[in-house]
Every structure is written in structure tokens, then in C-alpha cells.
Amino acid sequence: MTGSTGNGRIAIPSLTALRFFAAAVIVLHHSVGHFGIGTEIQKYINTGQPVCFFFLLSGFILACVYPSLDRGRDIMKFMVSRLARIWPLHILTFFVVVLFAPGGRPPISVAASNFLMVHGWIPVKEYFFSVNWLSWAVSAEWALYLFFPVLLYRLNRTWHVKLILSFFLALLLIVLCRVYDLPPLGGEGKPAALGLVYISPLARLFEFTLGMSLGLLYLRRRRTAPGNTRRGTLLETGVCLFAIAAILGTYPILKTLYPLLGYGAAKWVESSGWPSLFYAPLILVMAFERGRISHWLGNGILVKLGELSFSIYLLHQIGIRFYVSRFGTAADRFDAAAYGIFWVLLLLAAFFVQVAVEKPCRKAIIRWFDRFRGGQETVPVR
């Protein structure tokens, strides 16, 4: 991650590299049941959990890159920058699915909400899991960008209030699921508990705000934090093991939580509350880059792979859909060759769309905005 702030330029390549590992686990999550990967793996590894990492990291990065947005012009530039970051690839995958993928033509109202990146705001399965199913996260991220200027206002004085309020907002969504006894995926055209406590940007606001709070702490301490390499390596080893423990230790806890708390509460704890306790210290400690692990992560190919994480996320489910339509859902045993080829093609496709779509479209949109507003400054882009 790089960007400019009022305090100078920030570069945290170790966090960029971690994005690839988080994306790789999510790809594994959606690969289960295909390529001969059995569902037994999910009894031991919560492969869907790293989504929380991305929402935390997003808040952290934005708080570092934009320490203040005081003027209306600055807010507009921020929104254009964010739109330029996520919309071009979202639209590309939208048309790939609609035009070429099996079962890719949704009703007009659903397609329009997806095109405008608001489908994840609607807690109905036909909307939030429409077109490119994983684009619900893009929709949630877009909503969080809209919240960001308000959350950023006087953050140094109000971060704890905003963090508490976002937590109670998640509790309110959980209560609504319980009061109305919403089923996980709802019914046809009916609200779903999953849409409220997992998909909704309101449910993800806690992670995003926590990430912003971590970013505030990082900006305060980044120049004064002790630089002892041995201590830094021990801390980094600890938080990495801590994060692995979150993935490995979730399901034994969930066996108790789901019957005790019900679906809504247990799902939020599984996907947001519990992993936040583990990924928050991971992000903060690795950001200071005081140990050997962060230095290793920040060199070479891992950073380049981390820069592909957004493309990997949006493309991999589409690739799996095409694979399933051609070869079926699963084999009797793990097909290492097929899965290896899938990963090679996924990385090549991610690199291609980054070079041919993401970067040029982002630059073009920002350049157009600067010309339209008559300004000469460029917007910080991660």
C-alpha cells in the first residue's frame, strides 16, 4: 500500500503482500466442492473469514492516505478516486457474466442495482448474490466509502464513539434477525439474515471503523515506535500465529454459538466480531514493519501478487463457474493438475485486467475529473 498524506508519503508493502494471502484463502473457500477439494476442509479451516481482513485493511489504508477531508472539493475528489478504484473492474466482470456465463442474465431491476453497486445494500438473495456473486463486497465497500468522510470527521477525538456506535448497529441488525426470525437465505423476494449480518455494509461498518481507528493509531506512532528487529520479529510471529489460530479455532467455538445465539448473532461473530480480534493486531503490527517477517513480505513477487488481489477476488468465482459448466462440480480425489492450471489462468487473467482495465481506467477517470474541475492535483490512489 502506498499513498500520500499530509504527513508525507506512506509505503507499507508488507500489507500489500498480505492481501494476496487473504485473497488466496477466499479462492480456496469457493473452490471447495470443485477440483476434488472435499468439504471436510471447512470443518477445520474457516476459509471464508479473510473477508473481514479486507474490510479492516480498507479502513486502515484510507485513514492513513486521507488523514483529513475538510472541504467539499476534497470529498468529491476522494469519491471519484474510490469510484475509479473499484467500478471499472466491477463493470467488466458484470458484462462478462451477463454476456457469457451460464445463467448470467438477471431481471432488469436486479441488473441495474448490481451495475450501480447498490445490490449488496438490499438484504434479498436475488439482489446481493446477483451477476458476479462476489461483487456484494464491492457494493459494501462502495457504501463504506460514502460513510468515510463522516467517519473521518474529528476521528482523533471521536474514534471510540464511532466504534461503539458501529458495534451497536451490528447488534441491532442481529436483533432484527431474531425478532423477525429471518432464515439464513430468506425466501424468494424475502429478506435474509445473511443479507443483514454478513452482506450489509451496515454490518461491516464495525470492521471498517476499527480499521480506521488502527490507522489513526499507526499515524500517531509510526515515527516513534521502537525499531528493535528482534522484538519486532517476535511480535510479527505472534500476530501471524494469532491470525492462523482465528482460522483454525473458529468452528469448535461455532458448534456452541449457533445453537446458543441463533444464526444471525453466530454468523456475525464468525465473520466479523471474532476475526476482528485477530486481524486487527496483525494489520497494526505488520504495518510498523519492524521485524524480519514484514521485510520478507515486502520484497519482490509477493507485493506484486498482493496488487492483484482485487482482480483475483472478482475473477475467481467466474472462472469456477466456467469450470463447473464444462467439467462438473467435483472429482473423486483432488485434481492437482486442474487446480494448478486454474490458478495459473487466474493469475494471468488478473494481471491482464489490472494492466488493460484497472490502471488505465482509474487514471482516465481521475484525469477527466481534474480537467472537469480545472484542477492540477492528482488524487492519491492505492
Encode pLDDT of 117-160 as tens digits.
999 999 999 999 999 999 999 999 999 999 999 999 999 999 99
Any bridge partners for residue 191, and if so which?
Answer: 124
Name, in order, each residue with C-beta under 8 angstroms of 110's C-beta and a sequence gap of 6 or more: 119, 126, 127, 130, 131
Q: What share of the chain is helix, strand, coil (3-state, %, to 5)?
A: 75, 5, 25
**Average pLDDT of the chain, as a whole number:** 90
Q: Which of 278, 156, 219 is nearest to 12 (CA)?
A: 219
The count of residues in the chain is: 382
pLDDT (0 to 100) of residue 105: 83
Q: Which of 286, 151, 157, 156 is nearest to 220 (CA)?
A: 156
Taking the CA of residue 134 as centre, how many other CA atoms within 13 Å lie in the half-sphere pointing to its CB? 21
d(CA 133, CA 93): 10
pLDDT (0 to 100) of residue 185: 93
Q: Which stretch of DSSP H or E encloses residue 5?
A: strand 2-5
Q: Does the pLDDT value for residue 380 go beyond 50?
A: no
- Confidence band (pLDDT; 50, 70, 90) for 249? confident
Q: What string of DSSP letters covers 289-307?
A: --SHHHHHHTSTHHHHHHH
Q: Does the pLDDT value for residue 296 go beyond 60?
A: yes
The pTM of the full predicted model, rounded to 2 decimals, is 0.93
Q: Which of 216, 283, 213, 153 is nearest to 7 (CA)?
A: 216
d(CA 368, CA 80): 10
Identity at 147, one-letter amino acid code? F
Q: Does the pLDDT value for residue 6 go beyond 60?
A: no
228 DSSP 8-state letter:
-
* pLDDT tens readout for residues 297-342: 998 899 999 999 999 999 999 999 988 888 877 666 788 899 999 9
User: Residue 226, class by beta-carbon neighbours within 10 Å (0-12 exposed, 13-18 middle, 19+ buried)?
Assistant: exposed
Q: Does the pLDDT value for residue 9 go beyond 60?
A: no
3-class secondary structure, 3: strand
Name, in order, each residue with C-beta under 8 angstroms of 290's C-beta and a sequence gap of 6 or more: 225, 226, 227, 228, 229, 231, 232, 233, 235, 236
Q: Which stretch of DSSP H or E encloses residue 94?
A: helix 72-100
Name, in order, each residue with C-beta under 8 angstroms of 131's C-beta and a sequence gap of 6 or more: 93, 94, 97, 98, 104, 106, 110, 111, 114, 119
With the C-alpha atoms ordered 87, 215, 78, 364, is the resulting torsion angle positive or negative?
Answer: negative
